[in-house]
Homo-oligomer: A and B are copies of this chain.
Amino acid sequence: MQIAVVGLGRMGGNIVRRLERNGHTCVVYDKNSKAVDDLVSTGSTAASSIEDIAKHLTDRPRAVWVMLPAGQITQSTVETLGGLLESGDIIIDGGNSYYKDDIKRAKVLAEKGIHYVDVGTSGGVWGLDRGYCMMIGGDKVAVDHLDPIFKTLAPGRGDIPRTRNRENIPDHRAEEGYIHAGPVGSGHFVKMVHNGIEYGLMQAYAEGFDILKGKNSSDLKDDERYDLNLTDIAEVWRRGSVVSSWLLDLTASALAGSPNLEHFSGNVADSGEGRWTIEAAIEEAVPANVLSTALYTRFRSRQNHTFGEKILSAMRFGFGGHVELGESATSSPKDYKAAE
């Protein structure tokens, strides 16, 4: 089928390629004309502006996939498209928008009868060959209409073993790598929680490797001190252990290349999705200690000291006039060991 794609970065460009390789036709637009030209050379139709897109879309209803970095630019692009399209047409946001923004946008577009579909997309640069894992929110009629697109973009079953107990579940889309999660916003909501979980998983590995690394500390007793080979440990855990995962694969690669990770800063960025996940947990009154502390570790990693730590130092200094044995002593782990 025919679809337009706005935003031809790493993700957008490869989405076009994967669609065209499989018989779909694409109208493409990007502010960067080089990105447009590259795709035209392999068969896409160029639009010279957002306004121009609508003219080139001959099928009805028209479908436009917006694949832009989250935030202001997605918002303005969707607004512009909303002015150009007509009742029954579909706008897809394949980026990382906040799901509450999806809900707002969809309400505005619904007044004109335009459908808004949000797609949380995972898969990155490898998606071209392997396909994209997609979580989709929006009206059933629009999502069903786009099914040929989603089916093409998804990875399909591949060689991943089938899940036990799924034999009797008639809807096979999840097994092909895409789901219609629910009403508008639910696609990005599911992707958001996915990223929240990702933070937690990463932090679990990080703490574990930190404990392995720290076992070499000179503060420990001699016969309880080990100089462990983290590279080999990450590797062996990939092979039949309970903690094997794609994130562990990444860790094993990183450690194989650089056992002490000296080139990595340890300043860890966070995107909106980890934060939004905590906000969702709080709105639902769901305890989310692991996901929260994973986020806070990233906050902390980007500072020399928090002001809170200075408050702690100041309180301890205040004890000077009310000294606590042990408490007042500037105790190093060595003191601690002695105290045992």
Contacts and interface: CB of A to CB of B under 8 A. Distances in A.
B322 A288 contact: no
A22 to B, nearest CB: 17
Best-buried of A233, A277, A318, A335 by chain B (most CB within 10 Å): A318
List 10 tightest A-B contacts by C-beta distance, closest first. Answer: A200-B204, A245-B245, A250-B318, A266-B305, A206-B308, A214-B284, A287-B296, A165-B256, A124-B323, A254-B314
A293 B289 contact: yes
Contact of A202 (B166, B211, B289, B312): B312
Contacts of A308: 203, 206-207, 209-210, 286-287, 297
A238 B10 CA distance: 23
A212 interface: yes
Contacts of A155: 239-240
Size class of the contact patch on chain A: 35 or more
A205 B203 CA distance: 12
A25 B278 CA distance: 47
A309 to B, nearest CB: 4
A131 interface: yes
Contact of A211 (B97, B121, B277): B277
A284 B49 CA distance: 38
A42 interface: no
From DSSP, what is the main secondary structure of chain A's interface residues?
Answer: helix
A282 B125 CA distance: 30
A220 B279 CA distance: 13
A271 B329 contact: yes
Interface in A303-340: 304-319, 321-333, 335-336, 338-340
A301 B286 CA distance: 11
Contacts of A323: 10-11, 124-125
Interface stretch (A31-39, A84-92, A170-178): A170-178
A236 B135 contact: yes
Contact of A186 (B125, B228, B287): B228
A208 B200 contact: yes
A197 B243 contact: yes
Given A166-B235, A251-B315, 8 more contacts: A96-B339, A122-B324, A124-B321, A181-B229, A193-B212, A196-B211, A251-B314, A275-B336
A280 interface: yes
A19 to B, nearest CB: 17
Contact of A132 (B124, B165, B189, B240): B240
A80 interface: no
B314 A264 contact: yes
A245 B241 CA distance: 11
Interface string A155-195: 10010110111100101011111110111011001100111
Contacts of A243: 194, 197-198, 201, 245-247
B300 A296 contact: no
A148 interface: no
Contacts of A186: 226, 228
A262 B99 CA distance: 30
A298 interface: yes
A1 interface: no
Contacts of A286: 207, 210-211, 214, 299, 306, 308
